[in-house]
Structure 1
Amino acid sequence: MPMPMWNLVAIAVARPGKRVSRGTEVADWSKPTKATISGCWVGNPQTSTDKTQTAMPATSRATLYLPPGADVRKGDRVTYAGRDYAVDGEPMAYPSPLGGVDHLEVPLVDWSANG
C-alpha cells in the first residue's frame, strides 16, 4: 500500500529492557529504550466494546505502515497521536519489485477501559 506523502507522521517506539526472573530472561518495562521513526502512516482504524463486561472495555486496532528497515518488533510499544499501542504480532515486510512502495506493516492494538 503506498503511503501518501502528505499524511506521513513520526511515531515513538519503546522496547523493554531485559532482566532475569527465576532463571528466565523477561521484559523489563522499567528501563525501556526509546526511538522516534519518521515517515510513517497509521490507517485502518477499528474499535469495539466488550459489553459483556461491567467496565465495557474498548479495544482499538490500527495498522502502522513504516519505511523499509524500520526497527519495530513484536513486543514493542508504539505511541501515535498521544495514544499507546502494543505491537500485536509480527511486523511484515512488503517489498516492491520496483522499490517505490516498499514498507513494513505492523498491527497495533490498545486495550483500554474507556476507549
Structure 2
Amino acid sequence: MDFPFGQTVTRERRKLIDNPYDPTSPTQGSWDDPDTITVYDAFVASSSSAAVPSATRTQVVTQKSLYCPPATDIVDGDRVKSGSHTYTVDAVPEADVSPFTGWAPPMEVPLVEVSG
C-alpha cells in the first residue's frame, strides 16, 4: 500500500492501571496520559455527518474511515488524532488477507466524532 500524498495520524490508547476491586484484572486509565503511536502513510476519508437535535442542544455526529497499513495496532475504543480532529474508533478494525496471494489491502478503521 502506498498513498503518495498520505498523511500522518496519531493513535492514542488508554494505559492499563491496577483495578482496586480486582487486582487480577487491570482496568483502563484516563485519557490524560495515553500510549501513543504515529501512523504513517494513512488517509482519513469523509463518510457522513448528521445533526442530532434535542430539546436542549444539537449534536453533530461525523463518521469517517481511516485507511492505514494492515499491521497497524488499532483496536475498538482507541482514539485517532488527525489535524485538529479527534476521532474514536467505534468498531473492530479488520485487516483482510488474500488466501491466494497473501496480499493485504489497506485496513479500514471506522471512526466517529461527536461535537455539541
**What is the TM-score of this pair, normalised by structure 1?**
0.83
The answer (yes or no) to whether the contact 2:2–2:41 under 8 Å persists in 1 is: no
Q: CA deviation at 1:46?
A: 1.2
What percentage of residue pairs aligned between the two structures are identical?
25
The match for 1:104 is 107
Q: Tell me: CA distance 1:36–1:22, structure 2 relative to 1, closer, same or farther (3 Å).
A: same
Q: How does 1:46-61 map to 2 (within 5 A)?
A: 46-61=48-63
Partner of residue 6 from structure 1, selected from 4, 16, 20? 4
CA RMSD of aligned residues (A): 2.0
Amino acid aligned to 2:26: E
The match for 1:37 is 39
Q: For structure 1, which runs of at least 5 residues remain unmatched after alignment?
A: none
SS in 1 for 2:9: strand
Greater share of strand: 1
Q: 1:27 aligned to 2:28?
A: yes
Q: Distance in 2 between matches of 1:109 and 1:22?
A: 32
The match for 1:91 is 93
**Structure number with larger C-alpha Rg:** 2
The answer (yes or no) to whether the contact 2:80–2:89 under 8 Å persists in 1 is: yes
Instruction: Give deviations 1:46-99, integer Å, cap 9, x for gaps.
Output: 111112342101111101111120111111110012100111010111324553
Q: For structure 2, which runs of at least 5 residues remain unmatched after alignment?
A: none
Amino acid aligned to 1:64: L
**What is the TM-score of this pair, normalised by structure 2?**
0.82
List structure 1 segments (4+ residues) > 6 angstroms apart after TM superposition: none
Q: Distance in 1 between matches of 2:20 and 2:55?
A: 33
